[in-house]
C-alpha cells in the first residue's frame, strides 16, 4: 500500500475496539459499523477483507499488550514479497501486497518500525477500563493514557476524590502537631 501512513493505520487498527459508555465495541464488526472504518483507512471492505483485518487487529493487540510473543504475527506475513528499487535518493523497498492484505502488512511493518526505532513507546492505555492504545511521542516517554481528556482527567479526578475522601476520614486525631 504505497503512500499509507503505517503508524496512523496501526493506531487506527489497534484502537478499533473502544469502550463506549462502559461497553466494549468493535468498529470492525459485522453490524454495519465496519464500513466507515474501512473507508476512512482506504482498505477494501469485503467479507474476506474484514476477517483478515480483524484477525490482524486481534493479534497486534495481543502482542502489544504482551499476551502473545511477536512471533505470533508471523502468519500475517506469510508469502509477502518485497522488492527494491534504487534512485538518486537511495534504496526504497516496496511490499507486493494489495487491498486488505496490504493494509495488514503495512500495520505489521509499522509495529515493527516502532518497536525497533522507539522501544516501549507503543502501549495500551493505563486506564484498565479503556481498550485503546497510544504511541508515546513525548520526549520523556511518560504518557500513560490514550487521551488526557478521555482517560487521564478521569483517572486523575478519581485519585483526587479518593485522596480527599481518605484524608477527611483518616485525619482526625492522627499526628498531633507542635503548637
The string of pLDDT tens digits covering residues 119-169 is 999 999 988 888 899 888 878 777 777 766 677 555 555 665 567 777 765
Q: How many domains does the chain have?
A: 1
179 occurs within a structural domain: no
**Average pLDDT value for residue range 27-33:** 80
175 occurs within a structural domain: no
Radius of gyration of the chain (CA): 21
In degrees and rounded to multiples of 5, residue 78 shows phi and psi of -55, 130
Q: Check pLDDT > 50 for residue 59.
A: yes
Strand (E) or helix (H) holding 55 = helix 47-65
Distances (CA, A) of 110 to 7, 78, 88, 102, 135: 5, 17, 25, 12, 11
177 occurs within a structural domain: no
Per the structure, the complete domain to which residue 36 belongs is given by 6-170
Distance, in Å, from the CA atom of 24 to the CA atom of 94, rounded to the nearest integer, reads 36
- Full-model pTM: 0.78
Pairing of strands 81-87, 90-96: antiparallel
Find the CATH number of the domain harbouring 43.
1.10.3300.10
158 occurs within a structural domain: yes
Q: Check pLDDT > 80 for residue 107.
A: yes
**Average pLDDT value for residue range 21-49:** 88
127 occurs within a structural domain: yes
1 occurs within a structural domain: no
Q: Check pLDDT > 80 for residue 174.
A: no
Q: How confident is the model at residue 27 (pLDDT cuts 50, 70, 90)?
A: very high
3-state class (DSSP) for residue 97: coil
134 occurs within a structural domain: yes
87 occurs within a structural domain: yes
Amino acid at each position: 500500500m504505497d503512500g499509507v501512513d503505517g503508524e496512523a493505520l496501526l493506531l487506527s487498527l489497534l484502537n478499533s475496539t473502544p469502550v463506549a459508555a462502559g461497553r466494549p465495541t468493535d468498529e470492525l464488526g459485522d453490524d454495519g459499523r465496519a464500513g466507515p472504518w474501512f473507508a476512512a483507512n482506504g482498505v477494501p471492505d469485503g467479507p474476506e477483507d474484514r476477517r483478515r483485518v480483524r484477525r490482524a487487529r486481534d493479534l497486534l493487540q495481543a502482542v502489544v499488550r504482551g499476551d502473545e510473543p511477536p512471533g505470533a504475527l508471523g502468519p500475517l506475513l506469510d508469502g509477502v514479497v518485497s522488492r527494491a528499487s534504487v534512485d538518486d535518493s537511495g534504496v526504497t523497498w516496496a511490499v507486493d501486497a494489495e487491498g486488505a492484505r496490504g493494509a495488514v502488512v503495512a500495520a505489521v511493518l509499522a509495529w515493527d518500525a516502532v518497536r525497533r526505532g522507539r522501544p516501549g513507546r507503543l502501549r495500551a492505555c493505563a486506564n484498565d477500563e479503556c481498550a485503546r492504545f497510544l504511541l508515546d511521542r513525548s520526549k520523556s516517554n511518560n504518557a500513560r493514557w490514550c487521551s488526557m481528556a478521555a482517560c487521564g482527567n478521569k483517572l486523575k479526578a478519581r485519585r483526587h476524590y479518593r485522596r480527599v475522601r481518605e484524608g477527611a476520614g483518616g485525619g482526625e486525631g492522627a499526628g498531633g502537631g507542635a503548637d
